[in-house]
Structure 1
């Protein structure tokens, strides 16, 4: 892989009307794994996350908190920054839409759209969801059992809005968008979302209201400051703000177009319809790919604040461990599908996949090496068919994992790796190096070398998913930092290299015992009946 290849991956910028939850952690984790993998694979990576801080919903939430909007966004934006450390993410920058450079980029894009003839002034009358910051046509809303009109797609309450507005000529872009999708079939993933977007666009597009006058917390429209920009035009622009727009000679402009925008399925329309139309109208290339993942439920229930079942990633990490949570979130559910979060499933993965399969393989192999090989990498003797079969599977993993991650198939990548871990565990049992220690020490050493080398290759590929745990395993194999990149994937362990004492990395998780019920007080003897006294 050429070190000159750029790779730009972005999370959606998170709306700061509340604190981060498992959905935010999930999206950023997926981007973090891709960024780490691509860096290890020799790419020049730029990984961006940040916060979306304008709009009516923010203005309302700030008022409810008794704070000015800027002070409110400062506070909540910090909670998203804090999550970076909790989850061990590795972004190259954190962008906020309240930054002056972002105001400049948005206003420059607006002027470009006006000059292209794609923005005109008019009046908006229709349904608007403050929660979704989205406009809906009549057919996309319905009156619910509570007699409130709601968006049928999201369940959010909508209100009738009439106000002066600028419009983007989205209706003129339907044919050009369809042509773009057909020319770039990988632009939208997974396929179910691509079909959804195609259906929406083929159903006809209406011009999009792109300014508001009924509130003031946002970026002013150039030349008409009674209007502020529609929050989605503002928010989407962050991806090019980061690259230096409108200065296409800026150092970071080399990263545009982005290789991947990672989003939740609820915001795919903004990223796959509005955003490419805005960009093409401004004579800019759209991103190469947008991938929309699914939603989590909690033990079978939809997650909501009203049910009190919001999953706090900080609490998960404190309870179960950082790398364990990172592994589970990307292994448990096919990425792109909806999935159910279950603590029982998390503990099951921790104990079966991490403690029993991977951790036990590392611990017992390195313990036998320490005991029998003088705490050094054992000699590599003559390889037998069983040895080359295992080594070949481990060697082939890089190409497999690279291809799966380019499709955002995190679960498939991890499944492929764990299949080789299972092969290695079966190989240990079949070769029984503890028995060979007495009967054939030369063969024992070869078996142990094959196992140590397999662990090295597997661990190199697990690094993006579990960086802390894998660093400990690679230290126990005496693999120096410069040999932990994929350019060194085929640099086999050198026999005779001194090894540190082995230590367990993935302990089994034992659920704390439920507190014992308080002992019942002993029954008091009944008082003897008093004899009746004749009156």
Structure 2
């Protein structure tokens, strides 16, 4: 694969409501987007990751009131105490963090709205419907289910399991109905715009039923926590119409400076917008229609991932199934968190979390599979060659097989990332972990070391395994950056920084020079004492 110098890869997460602290469902989305951004950067591309917080709307207003504070003070506290620390907890390397209460966002939301109003895509009308404050969305009858327990006999939101509120308002409307056919044409011309295919099929079927116009304002007589409609300060902007625009306001939309315009041109349309499947319609229907109305191109792809399930239900703070990311990272570390959620769940499908599965995978795949492999190899280079990498002799079929598996791991993992199949990418990389472990078992370097006549063969075996570790370090760097930094410090200093090693070059064999100094290696994935062992 050629290097992509000069090409920008722009990936976004949804911006998250600040009504509560983040749980592992939020962190799952963040890690997926971060892995994609890091991988494309490792390919030599200009890679830009945007994340942030959604701070307007009735839900935030009510949460702040319940906590006896103002919405702005509540948002400031949650961002400072919870959302920004989350990025450090799970090692997110984001290039920007946008808050919808920032002037750069609020002002340019108004620029966008005014443009759509001036070009006839917004009008005033009245609306009556069932509104879910939790979703900040009007619900159709098909979106509701029968309530249970305290809500028996009532219609409740299928996502939040809470009653909806009947609202009747005179609002401003976006002419979404005019985009039914343009969206269907766009989907047909861009079959990868919505992924996975199951998500695409759902959205296409929804749009084929024809779209209704969308209420995009709320009267200030109801509540006033939001961005003013620029031509009518008696209304504020519907929170979703406000929130979706963060993806372009963060990168310069609406700004007059040459620098901002150049940034916008270099990044938009976004390469991949990673969202949870429960907000797919906003991103795959409303958002592209908004952009079309403004004369802008939709993103290249919207990827709707599945839910994290706990006890068979979607993770939710309101249902007390939320798990804080630090509950995992405090014990297993951020690398294990990142690896587990990207490997254990097919990206795009729902997946169940369990502590037992996490612990088992940590021990078998990370500690024993990868970590023990690295420590054994480096220990043998120190034991048998005083920490100096020996030159390889003639390659046998077994050595060439390692090289073949390594090259395939590079090609296959890169192809999987191109499809946003992160779990498949890790699976492809792990073929090399398994091959190297098997290679060591079969070659028995500890036996070769006992006889001077097989010392040259020992040198080839250890040279081969160190080269294999180099490939693994580069490929796993976007996924487990802390562990690969440790490994690279031991083996890769002579080749420069690990972040400068391109994916496309990783499979090229023989990059180390014989005589390179191999450092000591601290444990990549330390043994974790279980509760039973502690007794």
Give the TM-score of the pair, scaled to structure 2. 0.93
- Are 1:437 and 2:449 an aligned pair? yes
Secondary structure class of the residue paired with 2:497:
helix
Measured on the aligned residues, the alpha-carbon RMSD in Å equals 1.7
Q: 1:226 aligns with which of 203, 222, 234?
A: 234
Match of 1:528 in 2: none
Deviations 1:340-384 (A, max 9, x none): 111110111111001111111111111111111121111111111
How many angstroms apart in 1 are the aligned matches of 2:394 and 2:534? 57
Secondary structure class of the residue paired with 2:125:
strand
Pairs within 5 Å for 1:197-216: 197-213=203-219, 214-216=222-224
Match of 1:114 in 2: 117
Match of 1:294 in 2: 306
**Greater CA drift, 51-60 or 129-138:** 129-138
How many angstroms apart in 2 are the aligned matches of 1:19 and 1:315? 13
Distance 1:380 1:142, change over 3 A: closer
Q: 2:43 aligns with which of 41, 44, 66?
A: 41
Query: CA shift at 1:111, angstroms?
Result: 1.3
Instruction: Pick the structure with greater CA Rg.
Output: 1
How many angstroms apart in 2 are the aligned matches of 1:139 and 1:311? 30
- Are 1:419 and 2:438 an aligned pair? no
CA contact (8 A) 2:486 2:521 kept: no
Query: CA shift at 1:139, angstroms?
Result: 4.2
Match of 1:23 in 2: 25
Query: CA shift at 1:401, angstroms?
Result: 1.4
Query: CA shift at 1:299, angstroms?
Result: 4.4
* Poorly superposed stretches of 4+, deviation over 6 Å: none
**Greater CA drift, 96-105 or 302-311:** 302-311
Match of 2:378 in 1: 366
**Greater CA drift, 326-335 or 398-407:** 398-407
Distance 1:488 1:280, change over 3 A: same
Secondary structure class of the residue paired with 1:438:
coil
Query: CA shift at 1:284, angstroms?
Result: 0.4
- Are 1:456 and 2:470 an aligned pair? yes
How many angstroms apart in 1 are the aligned matches of 2:523 and 2:193? 43
How many angstroms apart in 1 are the aligned matches of 2:496 and 2:52? 30
Q: 2:164 aligns with which of 154, 158, 162?
A: 158
Match of 2:103 in 1: 100
How many angstroms apart in 1 are the aligned matches of 2:525 and 2:142? 53
Secondary structure class of the residue paired with 1:444:
helix
**Greater CA drift, 391-400 or 299-308:** 299-308
Match of 2:13 in 1: 11
Query: CA shift at 1:143, angstroms?
Result: 4.6
Match of 1:521 in 2: none
Match of 1:533 in 2: none
Distance 1:286 1:372, change over 3 A: same
Query: CA shift at 1:304, angstroms?
Result: 3.6
Distance 1:41 1:104, change over 3 A: same
Secondary structure class of the residue paired with 2:449:
helix
**Greater CA drift, 315-324 or 280-289:** 315-324
Match of 2:131 in 1: 128
Distance 1:311 1:35, change over 3 A: same
**Greater CA drift, 392-401 or 346-355:** 392-401
Pairs within 5 Å for 1:79-94: 79-94=82-97
Match of 1:529 in 2: none
Query: CA shift at 1:228, angstroms?
Result: 0.5
Distance 1:223 1:308, change over 3 A: closer
Match of 1:237 in 2: 245
Query: CA shift at 1:301, angstroms?
Result: 4.7
Q: 2:176 aligns with which of 159, 167, 170?
A: 170
Distance 1:459 1:222, change over 3 A: same
Query: CA shift at 1:154, angstroms?
Result: 5.3
Secondary structure class of the residue paired with 1:396:
helix
Q: 2:271 aligns with which of 254, 259, 263?
A: 259
Query: CA shift at 1:7, angstroms?
Result: 0.7
Q: 1:392 aligns with which of 386, 400, 404?
A: 404
Match of 2:489 in 1: 475
Deviations 1:404-450 (A, max 9, x none): 11211111111111111111111111111111123310011001111
How many angstroms apart in 2 are the aligned matches of 1:50 and 1:349? 31
Deviations 1:252-296 (A, max 9, x none): 211011111111111000000000000000000100001111111
Match of 1:520 in 2: none
**Greater CA drift, 387-396 or 263-272:** 387-396
**Greater CA drift, 38-47 or 143-152:** 143-152
Match of 1:317 in 2: 329
Deviations 1:166-205 (A, max 9, x none): 1111111111000000100110111110011001001111
CA contact (8 A) 1:334 1:409 kept: yes
CA contact (8 A) 2:470 2:492 kept: no
Distance 1:29 1:373, change over 3 A: same
How many angstroms apart in 2 are the aligned matches of 1:349 and 1:374? 33
How many angstroms apart in 2 are the aligned matches of 1:20 and 1:507? 27
Where structure 2 has 5 or more consecutive residues not aligned to the other structure, the ranges are: none
CA contact (8 A) 2:147 2:162 kept: no
Where structure 1 has 5 or more consecutive residues not aligned to the other structure, the ranges are: 517-535
Query: CA shift at 1:233, angstroms?
Result: 0.6
Q: 2:34 aligns with which of 16, 25, 32?
A: 32
Give the TM-score of the pair, scaled to structure 1. 0.93
Q: 1:337 aligns with which of 346, 349, 353?
A: 349
How many angstroms apart in 1 are the aligned matches of 2:122 and 2:366? 55
